[in-house]
Chain A
């Protein structure tokens, strides 16, 4: 997971670096040139003089499961009596359609009295092109009141925040965001994740606590039916796993010599599953915190042991030949093989990557594949890497700029969207229904809501997709009603994550948190980080496929040398400093 997450980060960072370069050579003059214009606007003193907003009483008629933590439906009132208009930049989305004609837009306007003049930017909000456009706007001083769904990195937020372009929302959140304050009580880490090193909060965050995403990196599937067929049990150690794959290979379960004991594809790194039998490994950028010290996994002896194990599996033909090169279409072709399964198992994120899902037939092929528990290595290490910090709170959902005269109203507008019913409308459209007592949700407990279709032609132009400000707690997400006649994979995904992965998670202190870097560090971090990533991933593939031998001391030392030359030391120093700033 981090793999792709980081690549985009790197790209984004290089865009920032690009923008910075422009700023340094002439853009800064432009910025200050237009600055006179921005200075005249700024927040109206009235903004902080309004009476603080209080948490409204909960409405009745909604069935919450006992002990529920998450958004609640509360009494809502209009924010302003006279319509006020703000200019907001949003990304383009096929699901949302034209933002100004969208149904949820109309509903929000009618309910809150706040009108939005949308400026729609092509792109998804987190790709390089969106950022090109946004950077052009910022550099040209053509700044809106706010950005919604444009993913600035933490470092960008901090940079533009300290340049006084993005507004520090701290005083506004204190006074006008009762729902957010409530949510932050549910998520104690939120406070730390929201603030920049200078203690400013430069965006209104979004909470989307996706339970199974926290464990994606440690997920691998194994064909449980095959395991039974060869007369073994689901493996729990590295040795047992090898035994199971060997048995698949020997018995040629698929028949006709077609058996592929274990497959994978290039977007799902192998190390995030297998290395965790040797040391806690969250995956790219392979940083962990060991007693307050940031360390890199890929230079440790345990990593080498892991490489030897994988090297052995590959040499024995137990891993697919194309495990490092197959793309998603290819792995799906194996998974969908007509005439019966040919894959014994695979390192994928969930069943849908492996095959086309038949959600109606209870005997559909995907039910054969079960989430493996993490394997216990020779030294007794057995970890399912759990993402406590990157999943859950997202910064940069709504970013208010200096241009905005009444930030208090925009903050209240965002806070309004954290209400349970508004979340549902924003995300699922007006067609959702409250669940009756006794309806079961994804986690098997009382469900709160349900809908017939989500993100289909039915809801096109009626929702804000996932771009709105929302509070989706773990309990909220799992309280979605499951249609007994057409159960999705959500329940098994949840259950297997809960039973097979969650119990083996590492302590939170070991996870390297999402840190904020100063502009010059960000550039350095992007550069060295990218080179390290290339070196580590290509060497991993070479060590596993046998082009390099992990047991050979000379080759291993060569590898360590290359890593040092790329600049592991300065890289770790940057991360250590950033980590300490994060810890405060």
Chain B
């Protein structure tokens, strides 16, 4: 990287570039090497998984695949569609991620906005209650009881509702409102005869696109990756999200090797795992990868504004 600064040096009058100092260059080289290595460390597993998913499973097991696919085969991807649970898992995951993200974002905005306004009575107490739940929770069984008594067990709501508001996101959103929507703006709107709801709808929301995008992404990714709530609350296979099915394939092979009761089964499971593992990981990674570029430009802005100026 050469930085040219205009300095009158040669009598010809053409500005000659200032040479970087030695130390600058060393720093630069170190920087690029470190970043390069870091990029490789992040990129390599991605490339490996993609290559492995497109290779013949035999070559994966024998360790021949290390960067590019060996023995090209898309069988792993076609095999996925033979499993009803994988297909239904994929669509369920989309429903949970989309539904969860929309509902959670709506709730987060509705909770964060009033708490960002100065005039709200009992604001401190409400905030304290929210924060309290970040530190303490009832634990697995009481929560299970609540979900059970609300009649949510084994319904899609059991996945969406209990995860519908993350206090952390709410705090970031509140800070965003506090810093970007000045109190004076609200006063001006009020003078012009705008109601609180109208102000929120017509002025606050259009000004808050970055934070909305950030919330949607956070919630969608969290839902997409989560499996524990599904494990605990769901008991019908047609409701299981993709992550549970993926997990099933990965653990199904964990046989006790000495109990090769049914050696044929062991071999079969091993093959299945080798075949499906990588293609499933690819499939499970694609949706977040697709969404990310669209929200990315808001992402840095929204998250930073919310967190830094708090």
Which chain A residues have a beta carbon within 8 Å of chain B's beta carbons? 1-5, 8, 22, 27, 30, 89, 92-94, 97-100, 118-124, 127, 129, 132-133, 136-137, 139-140, 142, 208, 210, 212-213, 216-217, 267-268, 328-329, 332-333, 336, 349-350, 352-353, 356-357, 391, 454-457, 460-461, 466, 488-490, 493
- B259 beta carbon closer than 8 Å to chain A: yes
CA A256 – CA B258 in complex, angstroms? 33
Distance in angstroms between the alpha carbons of A460 and B139 in the assembled complex: 38
Complex: how many Å from CA A512 to CA B123?
66
Binds A, one of B25-33, B77-85, B155-163, B175-183: B77-85
Contacts of B62 in A (CB 8 A): 332-333, 336
Q: Give A352 to B249 CA distance when docked, in angstroms.
A: 20
The answer to whether A5 and B264 touch across the interface, beta carbons within 8 angstroms, is no
- Report if B262 contacts A (CB, 8 A): yes
A352 touches B263 (CB 8 A): yes
Q: How many A-B residue pairs have CB under 8 A?
A: 146
- The answer to whether A216 touches B260, judged by C-beta atoms less than 8 angstroms apart, is yes
Task: Report yes or no: A92 in contact with B237, Cβ–Cβ below 8 A.
Answer: yes
| A residues near B84, Cβ cutoff 8 Å | 97-98, 461
B13: Cβ under 8 A from any A Cβ: no
Which residue of A3, A97, A133 contacts B231 across the interface (Cβ within 8 Å)?
Answer: A133
Q: Give the A-binding residues of B (Cβ under 8 A).
A: 58, 61-63, 82-85, 139-141, 144-145, 148, 153-154, 227, 230-232, 234-238, 240, 244, 247-249, 251-252, 254, 256-268, 272
Shortest CB-to-CB span from B82 to chain A, Å, is 6
Q: Is the CB of B258 within 8 A of A30?
A: no
**B260 and A124 contacting across the interface, CB-CB below 8 Å:** no
CA distance A48 to B232 in the complex (A): 35
The answer to whether A119 and B261 have CB atoms under 8 Å apart is no
Are A456 and B256 in contact (CB-based, < 8 A)?
no
Kindly list chain B residues whose C-beta atoms are within 8 Å of the C-beta of A97. 84-85, 237
In whole angstroms, what is the CA distance A512 to B236 when docked? 41
CB-CB < 8 A to A1: which residues of B?
256-259
Chain A residues with CB under 8 Å of B139's CB are: 22
Task: Give the contacting residue for B267; candidates A127, A216, A336, A352; CB below 8 A.
Answer: A352
Q: Which residues does chain A contribute within 8 Å of B238, judged by CB atoms?
A: 98
Contact in complex: B268, A456 (CB < 8 Å):
yes
Name the contact of B140 in the complex, choosing from A100, A136, A356 (C-beta under 8 A): A136
Please determine whether B258 and A217 come into contact, CB atoms closer than 8 angstroms. Answer: yes
Closest to B236 in A: A120
Known A-B contacts A136-B141, A142-B148, A456-B268; the reply to A213 vs B260 at CB < 8 A is yes
Please determine whether B58 and A356 come into contact, CB atoms closer than 8 angstroms.
Answer: yes
Complex A-B, nearest 6 residue pairs according to Cβ-Cβ distance, in ascending order: A1-B258, A119-B235, A216-B258, A4-B256, A98-B237, A139-B141
Decide: B252 and A94 in contact? CB cutoff 8 A. yes
> Which residues from A are CB-within-8-Å of B148?
140, 142
6 A-B contacts (beta carbon < 8 Å): A92-B240, A137-B144, A268-B258, A356-B61, A454-B265, A455-B264
Q: Decide if A121 touches B264 in the complex (CB within 8 Å).
A: no
CB distance from A28 to the nearest CB of B (A): 11
Q: Compute how far the CA of A336 lies from the CA of B64 in the bound complex, rounded to whole angstroms.
A: 12
- Name the distance in Å between A329's Cβ and chain B's nearest Cβ: 6
A322 CB to nearest B CB, Å: 14
Pick from A89, A124, A488: contact of B251, CB below 8 A.
Answer: A124
- Let me know if A99 and B237 touch, CB within 8 A: yes
CB within 8 A of B85: which of A2, A30, A98, A493?
Answer: A98
Residues in A with CB closer than 8 Å to B261 are 208, 210, 213, 466
Contacts of B83 in A (CB 8 A): 94, 460
Alpha-carbon distance A277/B243, docked complex (angstroms) = 48
B144, B148, B265, B272 interface centre (most CB from chain A within 10 Å): B144
Cα A328 to Cα B84 with chains together (Å): 30
A27 to B256, CA, bound (A): 33
Docked Cα-Cα span, A332 to B59, in Å, equals 12
Q: Is the CB of A89 within 8 A of B235?
A: yes
CB-CB < 8 A to A129: which residues of B? 231, 247
Q: Which residue of B lies closest to A427 (CB)?
A: B262
* A212 contacts across to B, CB distance below 8 A: 260
| Given the contacts A120-B236, A140-B144, A455-B265, A4 and B258 also touching, CB distance less than 8 Å | yes
| Contact (Cβ within 8 A) A333 B141 | no
CB distance from A430 to the nearest CB of B (A): 18
Contact residues in A for B267 (Cβ distance below 8 Å): 352, 357
Q: Known contacts A94-B272, A267-B257; decide if A466 and B262 are in contact (CB<8 Å).
A: yes
Tell me which residues across on chain B come within 8 A of A92, comparing CB atoms.
Answer: 237, 240, 244, 248
Q: A89-B235, A129-B231, A136-B144 are in contact. Are A454 and B251 (CB under 8 A)?
A: no
For residue B102, give the distance in angstroms from its CB to the closest CB of chain A.
Answer: 26
Q: Given A336-B62, A356-B58, check contact A268 B257 (CB 8 Å).
A: yes
> In the complex, which of the residues A5, A142, A493 contacts B258, with contact meaning CB atoms closer than 8 Å?
A5
Residues of chain A within 8 A (CB-CB) of B58 are 356
Known: A89-B235, A268-B257, A455-B265. A30 touches B244 (CB 8 A): no
Q: Which residues of A contact B244 (CB under 8 A)?
A: 92, 122
- Looking at B58, B230, B262, the one whose CB has the most chain A CB atoms below 10 A away is B262
| A120 proximity list for chain B (CB < 8 A) | 235-237
How far does the alpha carbon of A27 sit from the alpha carbon of B145 in the complex, in Å? 11
Closest to A217 in B: B258
Name 7 extra pairs, CB < 8 A, besides A118-B235, A329-B61.
A123-B251, A124-B251, A124-B252, A132-B232, A139-B144, A216-B260, A460-B83
| Complex Cα gap A488–B262 (Å) | 12
Nearest CB of A to B146, in Å: 10
A99 proximity list for chain B (CB < 8 A): 237
State in angstroms the CA–CA spacing of A329 and B248 once bound together: 21
Which residues of A have CB within 8 Å of B252? Answer: 93-94, 124
Query: Which residue of B is nearest A337, CB measured?
Result: B62
Given contacts A92-B237, A123-B251, contact A349 B141 (CB under 8 A): no
Residues on B with C-beta less than 8 A from A93 are 248, 252
Instruction: Output the least CB separation between B178 and chain A (Å).
Output: 40
Closest A residue to B83 using CB positions: A94
A378 → chain B, closest Cβ, in Å? 28
Residue of B at shortest CB range from A351?
B263
Given contacts A122-B247, A136-B140, A455-B265, contact A349 B232 (CB under 8 A): no
Residues on the B chain within 8 Å of A4, using CB: 256-259
Q: Cβ of A349 and Cβ of B272 under 8 Å apart?
A: no
Contact residues in B for A208 (Cβ distance below 8 Å): 261
Residues in A neighbouring B237, C-beta threshold 8 A: 92, 97-99, 120
